[in-house]
Structure 1
Amino acid sequence: MTQLNLTDNERQFIIDTIKQGKPLPKEYIYKLYADDEDVFLFWNGRNETVTNAVLPFHSIEHIDEPRREIEKEPELFDTTGRQLKGWTNKLIWGDNKLILSSLVNGPMREEIEKEGGLKLIYIDPPFAVGADFSYQITVNGEDVTKQQSIIEEIAYRDTWGRGISSYLSMMYERLRLMHQLLAEDGSIYVHCDWRVNSVLRLILDDIFGNDNFLNEIIWRRHYSHNDGNRYGCVHDSILWYSKSRDYIWHRQYLSYDEDYVKKNYNLIDERTGRRYRSVSMNAAGPGPGRYFGKIFLNPPPGTHWRWSQERIDEAIKEGKIYFTSTGVPRYKQYLDETEGLPVQDIWLDFYGVSSQSNELLGYATQKPEALLERIIKASSNEGDLVADFFCGSGTTAAVAEKLGRKWIAADLGRFAIHTTRKRMIQVQRELKKEGKPYRAFEVLNLGKYERQFFFGVPANIPQEKQEQLLEAKQEKYVSLILEGYSAQRVHEHKYLHGKKAGRFVHVGPLSVPVTKTLVEEVFEECRQNLITQVDILGFEFEMGLVPYIKDELRQRGVDIRLRYIPKEVFDKRAVEKGEVKFYDVAYVQVKPYIKGKTVKIELTNFTTYYTQDDLEELEQSLKKGGSKVVIENGQIIKLTKDQNGILQREVLTKNWVDWIDYWSVDFDYEDKKEIIRIEENGEVKEVWTGNYIFENIWQSFRTKKNPKIELITAPHTYEKAGKYKIMVKVVDIVGVDTSHIVEVEVK
């Protein structure tokens, strides 16, 4: 047993401090672990425990542009060309800590391993204390800034809550999980800048090992930048680590320019007339090393550095080796035999996404496709699985799809998921047009299990046990939601849980949607007690409730308002600061056109009550001569204050269509049940959730090139006569989903 180098006084001080429950001074921590390692990475809040929760993934949408002409592998596709088998790419909405934990420890790990494992991870995590994660949307020619959601703000504030130590804790746990998920021959690229590259390097060394550090890549994202009183910051860093010494690597090259050729390939072979350069026959042989611009003396097994005698003999025979007057051997490296200039660890050949670029999606942290193309080509093979767990606008997934890789992309932000969904559909369309292959992808989330996890109800226990736990915590749950809604608890009614500003409040269930039956029970209690106004809060709502309430229940004397409960209610800080926003459920109207077995759907109306800004506050703070675009109560308004202080309001959303960013249709919604895989008592079983997967058959959405949206679908023809339920999904310009079901009968 190692003896601690401590005096008696130091030992007693440590014992007394621990007994009193006080924090131990850092110098004593270092002394206690002095013999363990030469260097120990420690920060306030470091925790070796990594989340191991396993939450089932809900498949809420399946997207595969129909391929009508099938020539190869018919067993993989149905008669319309929709993918039936094989890997389906994953776009996952939620907290990436829970997503990673569920991938590492859950049933989907087996699916990943069947594909050869996860070969490459690229992440571009938040790395600026004051980072701006808002995004731009355009309405009738005016740019509108959409702020990040409260849940994103809270997650980000938590990241920097205690400064660099809390940032390290956030990244450390996630990087530990990513390390576990990577295949043995996989690697990770971590994008950062000068603010955090030094500390990220330390925790990556801690997790992956210093021996597996390959490069710090310097990417010049700007040509010039004015930083005032210091040198302009024009570059980011990309830290590249491997899981082991045996990893995937393909040397990347730059095309030679004319000046480089003239300067370096300045010799002409008199025998062949070909340009060449004279290369030293050193021990490692000609050419660059294994990494981006580095040569190592001890290469990994399987790396052939030295010249074999066979190769030397062949080169002499071909006239490629000659000897100088002093007898030193030299090698002729012909220009037409080289692939170009090897890429080094400083990348100067492309910049960030410009305001004029066709790639631009209005996303502040968007990176150029060329950057990801180089990384994916260098560190993965065609058919490999790559991932991005801070996917933002979806650049990694888009480039992976174009390069024939499989992918997983995840993000906390609703708008990030929506932006990536649109982008990937556009990639599918482009590849289809070019006659190139592509894969289906599905949109996943953790659904009710994520909410239950926040509330302390595990997913890996029997359903009956889950319901018992939820019932035991019902009062705590109701009180929590009412506090987030700033409502007072009332106890004299069965279905009316609270009251706010003259309106009664019902808190819907945690794990199932608010149903028509439940709404009717709330209505009946209101009617019997002569209550005329009530808000019903829920995480999910049964289809068709809004028109039913509008057309029937309000006509019978009770003003019922449906409002979504946001995830933020589970964050105590957001509740205490009054930052939790509940939004009204939007209203969608559609009209079917039926002719025989063919149906078309027209989108006829959309109503939302979304509010982002405090109009009165902005009016007072707006400076003379200034203008501001705001969102209030379902209207996007441009405020302008002239030099005399006179305020003018211009409503930009002149028509309900202005709110629509994307809509899609599943013409046979109940065709495919949603089956999830749940692990209970060490066994994995498949369970039907009671829901169906939305199979995205047709969609229309706005793009930078084409901001117009179609309001009538292409015709869809059913194979058999009968009744069908059609689901219409609308995503508005701020990224919120609203769905509607209509039933049709074809003959």
Structure 2
Amino acid sequence: MSGAPQNFKNEIIWHYSDGTAPQGAFKRKTDTIYFYTKTNNSVFNEIRVPSLNPKRYNKVDENGDLYFEDGHHGSAKRFYLKDGIICDNVWTYVTDDSFRQLNSQSDLRKKYGYATMKPLAILERIIKASSNEGDLVCDFFGGSGTTAAVAEKLGRRWITCDIGKPASLVMRKRFIDQEVNPFLYQSIGDYQKEAFHNNKKLRRVGDLSQVVLGLFGALPFSPEQVSDRNFGYVKGTRNLVMVDSPNRLTTAATVRRAVEAKASLLGGDWDKVIVLGWNFAFDISQAIEKYKNSNVEVLVIPPDLLDKLSKKGFKKLIADKTVRFSSLQYLVVNPVEVTVNGNGEDELSISLSNYVLLSPDNIPLDDKDKEKLQQVMEQDPLSLIEYWSIDPDYDGDTFRSTWQDYRENVDNDSDPLHCVYSTRLHMPHKAERKVCVKAVDVFGFESQVILDVKC
């Protein structure tokens, strides 16, 4: 069992030059690293570090290398300065300047913004000691991605993750800067589903769809009218409302079902259908565009609604009138223009058209910043794009980025505050292909558009 007492190997003391000086106590200049192995059959590679006493190496061999002789082993043995000494469990900055603690002025810390990020050399020593080239290194609290970045540099495979979208964005940008080998980025997990099923109080609330309808201001149908309890209507209007489940993604098929219900439920003749969803498939923007003339609206159920229900209860939320259902963020990409150049390659012209962000009411900003955000949304919505990338041969399953741009990157233009909004790619000729474009905004929301292209 991992972490069991019998698998404890070392308490490592990391000593650094900078440290806090609390009142009435000694200055704190160390951290502790606990070294465990999962089994007794684990990898351990000897690590050598520069000697603390280089003056001891007082002889020079025929190649000009410094060494000293130790005669305690029966016969004199040479110990070379260039070989260093075997690393012990006290890791001090004296032996290697790269072990100095990162401070607030560090270029890496300023770039990636994580107060807890460790010096590269710390992770390099750990990874070298406990794995070989080609081994798999995992970091399940990825932060700024230092572990994965070092693993890549040392020829290891890696998996890293983080619960925060900003961390995932920071890591992805860092790996691109480092020009790592192609990697797969996936969004895994469903917070709303987990929160609902793990909270007994929420399950006693009753049918969640009925609760959401009530908070939206809609009324449920009676079982005699409509057996599907996910549907309701806004009193005094011909607006139909459909609440999707926290157990699944709201997809293009969901939107199609809502449009069909608008035309058929209780005789049809509804003016509008409103879809309320928790989690959305990446291609939802295409569905919205496809059905934009069918009077269908897709809104986001507040991501913290389950927490609010658990803490305040349904009746108080109704009385407070603080629950807001906001519009969905999505990316709009212009049709891809294709020309065949003199080399027989397809030249793809890909450009962003618009970015629709969910309402500022659903983003934790003060009123002044919300007003500024609203102005940006109206005047230059694409400036909210933090990162976008393209897979010009998307297989429908795995996204492989061939081209990307992000704010602060000046390889594609000289403006560090904005992404470029268009690019041209040269690809081998194909009669038809799928082009997938992904974008992440400054708040960490991700959108995806898939375009069918005939060349």
Indicate whether the TM-score tops 0.5: yes
Q: Residue 334 of structure 1 corresponds to which residue in structure 2?
A: 79
Q: Does 1:546 align with 2:281?
A: no
1:568-619 deviations in whole A, cap 9, x for unaligned? 7389646759798865322322222221343221112212135323534xx6
Q: SS state of the match for residue 400, structure 2?
A: strand
**Counterpart position of 2:243:** 507
- 1:739 Cα offset (Å): 1.4
Superposed CA offset, 1:671-715 (max 9, x none) = 35xxxxxxxxxxxxxxxxxxx333323222234777342322332
Tell me which residue corresponds to 1:726: 435
Q: Deviations over 1:518-546 (max 9, x none)?
A: 23135446995766684532422534133
Do residues 659 (structure 1) and 409 (structure 2) align? no
Change (3 A) 1:252 1:743: same
The corresponding residue for 1:712 is 422
When residues 580 and 701 of structure 1 are mapped into structure 2, their CA distance, relative to the original with a 3 A threshold, is: farther
- Report the alpha carbon displacement of residue 482 of structure 1 after superposing the two structures with TM: 5.0
Structure number with higher relative contact order (C-alpha < 8 Å, ≥ 6 residues apart): 1
Q: Indicate if the aligned counterparts of 1:662 and 1:701 stay in contact, CA closer than 8 A.
A: yes
**SS in structure 2 opposite 1:397?**
helix
Residue 593 of structure 1: aligned partner: 337
1:261 is aligned to: 54
Q: Of 413, 425, 440, which residue of structure 1 is paired with 2:164?
A: 413
Amino acid at match of 1:442: L
- C-alpha separation between the residues in 1 aligned to 2:326 and 2:32? 40
Q: What's the % identity of the aligned pairs?
A: 27
Describe how 1:325-474 pairs up with structure 2 within 5 A. 332-336=77-81, 338-340=83-85, 342-348=87-93, 349-352=99-102, 354-358=104-108, 360-427=111-178, 429=179, 438=181, 440-446=182-188
- What secondary structure sits across from 1:613 in the alignment? coil
1:216 lines up with 2:11 in the alignment: yes
Aligned residues: CA RMSD: 4.2
- Superposed CA offset, 1:369-408 (max 9, x none): 2221111011111111111111122111111011000112
In 1, Cα distance between the equivalents of 2:173 and 2:132? 26
Contact 1:661–1:733 (CA<8 Å) still a contact in 2? yes
Q: Report SS of the residue matched to 2:207.
A: helix
What corresponds to 2:96 in structure 1?
A: none
User: Aligned pair in 2 of structure 1 residues 733, 268: CA closer, same or farther (>3 Å)?
Assistant: same
**In the alignment, structure 1 residue 521 sits paired with structure 2 residue 260:** yes
Q: Could you say which residue in structure 2 is the equivalent of 1:248? A: 43
Q: What is the CA-CA distance between 1:344 and the residue it aligns to?
A: 3.7
Instruction: Work out the CA distance in 1 between the residues paired with 2:184 and 2:101.
Output: 31
SS state of the match for residue 415, structure 1? Answer: helix
Aligned counterpart in structure 2 of residue 491 of structure 1, from 216, 221, 227:
221
Displacement of 1:651? 6.4
TM-aligned CA distance change 1:695 to 1:715, over 3 Å:
same
SS of corresponding position for 2:422: coil
Alignment of 1:176-215 (within 5 A): 179=2, 204=3, 208-209=4-5, 211-215=6-10
Identify if the C-alpha distance between structure 1 residues 548 and 246 changes in structure 2 by more than 3 Å, giving closer, same or farther: closer
Q: Report the residue type matching 1:598 in the other structure.
A: E
- The one-character-per-residue Cα deviations of 1:126-145 (angstroms, maximum 9, x if unpaired) are xxxxxxxxxxxxxxxxxxxx
Query: Given that residues 536 and 562 in structure 1 are in contact (C-alpha distance below 8 angstroms), is that contact kept between their aligned partners in structure 2?
Result: yes
Q: Are the equivalent residues in 2 in contact too, given 1:546–1:587 (CA < 8 A)?
A: no
| C-alpha spacing 1:239/1:352, structure 2 compared with 1 (3 Å) | same
Deviations 1:16-75 (A, max 9, x none): xxxxxxxxxxxxxxxxxxxxxxxxxxxxxxxxxxxxxxxxxxxxxxxxxxxxxxxxxxxx
Asked if the contact 1:222–1:352 (Cα under 8 Å) also holds between the matched residues in 2, the reply is no
The answer as to 2:221 corresponding to 1:476 is no
Task: Decide whether the 8 Å contact of 1:506 with 1:522 is kept in 2.
Answer: no
1:745 aligns with 2:454: yes
Give, as a single letter, the amino acid of the residue that structure 1 aligns with 2:338. Answer: I
Q: Give the drift of 1:223.
A: 0.5
Q: Is 2:240–2:270's contact at 8 Å kept on the other side of the alignment?
A: no
Q: Which amino acid aligns with 1:366?
A: M
Q: How many residues align?
A: 412
State the distance in 1 between where 2:257 and 2:312 align.
Answer: 27
Q: Which residue of 1 aligns with 2:201?
A: none
Q: What is the distance in 2 between the residues matched to 1:511 and 1:246?
A: 42
1:731 is paired with a residue whose SS is strand
> Secondary structure of 1:696's partner?
coil
Q: Is the 8 A contact 2:213 2:220 kept in 1?
A: no
The letter for the 1-side match of 2:257 is L
Q: Distance in 1 between matches of 2:165 and 2:157?
A: 22
Indicate how the Cα distance of structure 1 residues 478 and 403 shifts in structure 2: closer, same or farther if over 3 A, else same: same
Q: 1:583 to 1:718 in 2, by over 3 A?
A: farther
SS of aligned partner of 1:443 = coil
Going from structure 1 to structure 2, the CA distance change for 1:382 and 1:610 (only over 3 Å counts) comes to farther
Name which one, 1 or 2, has greater alpha-carbon Rg.
Answer: 1
SS across alignment from 1:694: coil
Deviations 1:87-114 (A, max 9, x none): xxxxxxxxxxxxxxxxxxxxxxxxxxxx
Equivalent pair of 1:662/1:702 in contact (CA under 8 Å): yes
What's the counterpart of residue 609 of structure 1?
358
2:274 is the counterpart of 1:537: no
Contact 2:44 2:129 in 1 (8 A): yes
Residues 667 and 716, structure 1, Cα contact 8 Å, conserved in 2? no
Partner of 2:445: 736
The structure-2 alpha-carbon separation of the partners of 1:372 and 1:498, relative to structure 1 and needing over 3 Å to count, comes to farther
Aligned partners of 1:254 and 1:343 also within 8 Å: no
| Structure 2 contact 242–273 (Cα < 8 Å) conserved | no
Please tell me whether the aligned partners of residues 540 and 564 of structure 1 are also in contact (alpha carbons under 8 angstroms). Answer: no
Any gaps of 5 or more consecutive residues in structure 1? Answer: 1-175, 180-203, 286-311, 321-331, 432-437, 458-472, 620-629, 638-649, 673-691
Pairing 1:160-179 to 2, within 5 Å after superposition: 179=2
Q: Is the 8 A contact 1:213 1:241 kept in 2?
A: yes
2:278–2:300 Cα contact (<8 Å) kept: yes
Q: 1:394 to 1:500 in 2, by over 3 A?
A: farther
Shift of 1:345: 2.0
Alpha-carbon distance between aligned partners in 2 of 1:253 and 1:583, rounded to the nearest angstrom: 58
Counterpart secondary structure, 2:435: strand
Q: Describe the shift of the 1:668–1:247 C-alpha distance in structure 2 as closer, same or farther (beyond 3 A).
A: closer
> Does the 8 Å CA contact 1:389/1:410 hold for their aligned counterparts?
yes
Summarize the Cα distance change of 1:652–1:584 in structure 2 as closer, same or farther, 3 Å threshold. closer
In 2: Cα distance, 1:426 partner to 1:499 partner: 51
Deviation at 1:222, TM superposition (A): 6.3
CA contact (8 A) 1:478 1:497 kept: no
> SS at the partner of 2:18?
coil
Is the contact between residue 523 and residue 553 of structure 1 (CA under 8 Å) also seen in structure 2?
Answer: no
Equivalent residue letter for 1:412: I
Assess, with a 3 A threshold, how the Cα gap between structure 1 residues 338 and 565 changes in structure 2: closer, same or farther: same
1:393 and 1:581 map into 2 onto residues whose CA distance is 33
Q: Structure 1: which amino acid aligns with 2:232?
A: H
